[in-house]
């Protein structure tokens, strides 16, 4: 499996580009296991595009997650390139851990007070370039001058080809003749990428591989700046498709030719940990002309990813793994050396870690789970984690469930596959964070009709860091009886941006959305232009509009504490209120 050499592609925008196109509609990530336990304080973000860029000395490294659901024979991937790339296999765990370490969270500090002012809500207080020409004039390697093919090779589960993009029809004809799936509509959007010095990278699955064998790819290529060919992506995009981008460098990354949005955090559902976060982002970026804008979700040290993918001693050694020639000792070596990821999952037999789906796929190829165990609902993860039990006591008790058991396998072959497809890509992904001190995470959503401009990313060392952890404060009033944590009494919430929300009846019944989300206020606080130096240029400031809308909404709600029910509880409330009134009269 040879590495590719380098050359150049001139594209229509003023900077070089690279990124991914999923030739079928992106759906749930089929190649990614569930690596981290769900956190109720973390908004769920589904993205059709997930890419990590690292940029240094005119070379961009792009880790691209391949997300696809459909027949294996219809998987196709076409990618405009600014130069001929070197291609390697990547790691799905990289993206799972990036998400876990940089995901935006929204949490409330809670305070319970016994005082019951007549109107605890009074006032609206504050708070808290042109393409690189380094190789211009060089002749690309390979090819016979008539065919668009530059070279063809394979890596892991992929059959790939690099094609000249100087003439559209010969390239499309070659893809069709050689079994590379090209969906309808591609011809309509490919024109901006057809250039005299252009190239395309095309991928398909090798025969014998299925959708479960998909894994990320890593591309290294000459380019001034990273870019996503979103125009071409529109062929297979869903409405409001999430685009999630991480950028490594020496300073904070910026969307060079898109706007930058700061969302209005008063529109978030703070009570339910920002469950409507993606909707707010979608509406906020839609408030700028063209709907071309990104939100910065994290910007700061790349140290948040150190020693996570490549901690010392992880995976052991391929030679030691291959020396385990029986199924139980082989799988137990994996379990003891960091192949599974430890999360709060529990199966029929207790704790079960998560495994990358690729690890499960490789194990299944030679050490499959007996069919009757699967019929009983025993997962592959449960089986491999408890393999000594299943092939020991459980098998002795229920031998009829193991009639198709086959534990003959090649430990050397499995160890080699795991080393090439799991160990090497994961350790390489971890090492990249040691070479770049700064990590930025940006997010947006785009619908196909909005994919009219390819986003380019650059850097600005003058911009501040952005935390992914956000805190607001809520105070519950009138807690004069029994349980002080009952949250059905009047409350005031201050968001991180200082906006004030009142809940006259408490938050006990607020279980699905922010009741202030539909009051007509803007979903963005600021729309900005970020340049490669200096402070942001604010082009739209919605702060006062937001405050005015909240003030009107706050004023329309009744203040004070309501008294409901009868009996002892109501009597205690009345007594407490009576004592409060007496105390005030004495003070008067």
Q: Same structural domain for residues 520 and 574?
A: no
- Count of CA atoms in the C-beta half-sphere (13 A) of 341: 24
| Calpha distance 321→325 (Å, rounded) | 9
> Domain for residue 280, yes or no?
no
Condensed to tens digits (0 to 9), the pLDDT of residues 401-449 reads: 999 999 999 999 999 999 999 999 999 999 999 999 999 999 999 999 9
Cα 111 to Cα 88, 477, 505: the distances in Å are 52, 9, 16
Residue that finishes a domain, picked among 406, 424, 451:
406
Q: What is the pLDDT of residue 17?
A: 30
Strand duo 199-205 + 149-155: pairing: unpaired
**Under 8 Å between Cβ of 455 and 258:** yes
Q: Same structural domain for residues 579 and 541?
A: no
Condensed to tens digits (0 to 9), the pLDDT of residues 8-44 reads: 222 222 222 333 323 223 323 222 222 333 344 444 4
Q: Same structural domain for residues 475 and 540?
A: yes
| Calpha distance 556→553 (Å, rounded) | 5
* 351 Cβ contact partners less than 8 Å away, ≥ 6 residues apart: 345
Residue 30: how many CB atoms within 10 A of its CB? Answer: 17
Q: What is the pLDDT of residue 82?
A: 86
Q: Same structural domain for residues 511 and 579?
A: no
Give me the domain span that covers residue 585: 562-588
Residue that finishes a domain, picked among 406, 432, 449:
406
> Domain for residue 386, yes or no?
yes
Q: What is the pLDDT of residue 73?
A: 85
Q: How many domains does the chain have?
A: 3
Q: Same structural domain for residues 476 and 395?
A: no
> Domain for residue 206, yes or no?
no
Residue 100: how many CB atoms within 10 A of its CB? Answer: 17
As given in the structure block, the two tokens for residue 296 are: 């910065």
> Domain for residue 572, yes or no?
yes
Residue that finishes a domain, picked among 406, 434, 459:
406
Q: Same structural domain for residues 521 and 569?
A: no
- Cα dihedral 69, 188, 175, 8 sign: negative
Q: Same structural domain for residues 537 and 585?
A: no
Tell me the angle at which helices 424-435 and 92-102 cross, rounded to the nearest 10 degrees: 40
How far from the centroid of its chain's Cα atoms is residue 117's Cα?
45
Residue located via tokens 């901690």: 311
| Calpha distance 398→366 (Å, rounded) | 22
| Calpha distance 47→35 (Å, rounded) | 16
> Domain for residue 275, yes or no?
no
Q: Same structural domain for residues 475 and 552?
A: yes
* 175 Cβ contact partners less than 8 Å away, ≥ 6 residues apart: 78, 161, 163, 182, 202
Q: Same structural domain for residues 533 and 504?
A: yes
> Domain for residue 345, yes or no?
yes
Q: Same structural domain for residues 547 and 582?
A: no
Residue 485: how many CB atoms within 10 A of its CB? Answer: 9
**Under 8 Å between Cβ of 546 and 522:** yes
Q: Which residues of the chain have pLDDT under 70?
A: 1-47, 116-145, 342-351, 479-486, 509-513, 555-588
Q: Same structural domain for residues 485 and 554?
A: yes
Q: Where are the beta strands (DSSP E) in 344-410?
A: 346-347, 350-351
Q: Same structural domain for residues 537 and 581?
A: no
As given in the structure block, the two tokens for residue 340 are: 């599974």
């Amino acid at each position: 499996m040879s590495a590719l050499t380098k050359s150049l592609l001139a594209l229509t925008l003023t900077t070089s580009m690279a990124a991914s196109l999923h030739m079928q509609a992106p759906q749930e990530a089929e190649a990614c296991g569930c690596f981290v336990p769900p956190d109720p304080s973390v908004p769920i973000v589904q993205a059709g595009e997930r890419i990590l860029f690292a940029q240094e000395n005119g070379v961009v490294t792009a880790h691209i997650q391949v997300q696809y659901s459909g027949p294996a024979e219809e998987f196709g991937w076409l990618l405009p390139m600014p130069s001929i790339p070197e291609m390697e296999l990547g790691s799905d765990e990289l993206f799972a851990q990036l998400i876990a370490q940089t995901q935006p969270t929204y949490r409330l500090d809670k305070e319970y007070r016994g005082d019951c002012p007549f109107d605890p809500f009074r006032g609206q207080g504050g708070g808290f370039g042109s393409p690189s020409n380094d190789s211009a004039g060089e002749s690309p390697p390979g090819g016979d001058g008539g065919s668009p093919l530059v070279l063809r090779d394979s890596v892991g589960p992929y059959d790939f080809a690099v094609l000249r993009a100087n003439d559209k029809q010969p390239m499309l004809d070659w893809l069709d003749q050689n079994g590379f799936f090209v969906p309808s509509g591609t011809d309509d959007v490919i024109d901006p990428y057809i250039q005299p010095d252009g190239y395309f990278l095309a991928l398909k699955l090798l025969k014998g591989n299925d959708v479960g064998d998909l894994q990320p790819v890593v591309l290294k290529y000459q380019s001034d700046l990273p870019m996503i060919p979103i125009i071409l992506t529109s062929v297979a995009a869903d409405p409001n498709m999430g685009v999630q981008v991480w950028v490594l460098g020496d300073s904070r990354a910026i969307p060079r030719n898109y706007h930058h949005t700061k969302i209005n955090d008063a529109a978030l559902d703070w009570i339910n940990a920002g469950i409507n976060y993606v909707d707010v982002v979608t509406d906020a970026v839609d408030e700028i002309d063209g709907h071309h804008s990104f939100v910065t979700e994290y910007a700061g040290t790349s140290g948040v990813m150190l020693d996570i993918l490549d901690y010392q001693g992880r995976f052991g050694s391929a030679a030691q793994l291959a020396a385990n020639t029986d199924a139980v000792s082989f799988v137990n070596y994996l379990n003891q050396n960091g192949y599974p990821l430890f999360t709060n999952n529990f199966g029929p037999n207790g704790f079960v870690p998560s495994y990358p789906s690729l690890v499960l796929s490789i194990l299944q190829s030679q050490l499959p789970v007996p069919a009757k165990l699967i019929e009983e609902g025993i997962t592959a993860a449960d089986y491999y984690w408890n393999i000594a039990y299943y092939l020991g006591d459980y098998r002795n008790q229920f031998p009829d469930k193991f009639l198709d058991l086959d534990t003959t396998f090649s430990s050397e072959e499995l160890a080699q596959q795991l080393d090439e497809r799991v160990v090497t890509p994961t350790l390489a992904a971890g090492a990249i964070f040691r070479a770049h001190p700064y990590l930025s995470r940006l997010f947006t959503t785009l619908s196909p009709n909005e994919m009219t401009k390819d986003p380019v990313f650059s850097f600005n060392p003058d911009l501040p860091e952005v935390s992914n952890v956000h805190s607001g404060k809520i105070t519950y009033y009138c807690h004069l009886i029994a349980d002080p944590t009952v949250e059905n009494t009047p409350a005031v919430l201050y968001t991180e941006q200082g906006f004030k929300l009142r809940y006259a009846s408490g938050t006990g019944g607020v279980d699905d959305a922010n009741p202030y989300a539909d009051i007509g206020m803007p979903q963005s606080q600021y729309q900005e232009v970020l340049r490669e130096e200096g402070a942001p240029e604010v082009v739209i400031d919605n702060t006062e509009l937001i405050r005015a809308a909240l003030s009107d909404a706050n004023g329309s709600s009744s203040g004070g504490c309501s008294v409901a029910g009868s009996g002892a509880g109501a009597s205690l409330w009345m007594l407490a209120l009576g004592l409060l009134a007496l105390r005030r009269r004495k003070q008067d």
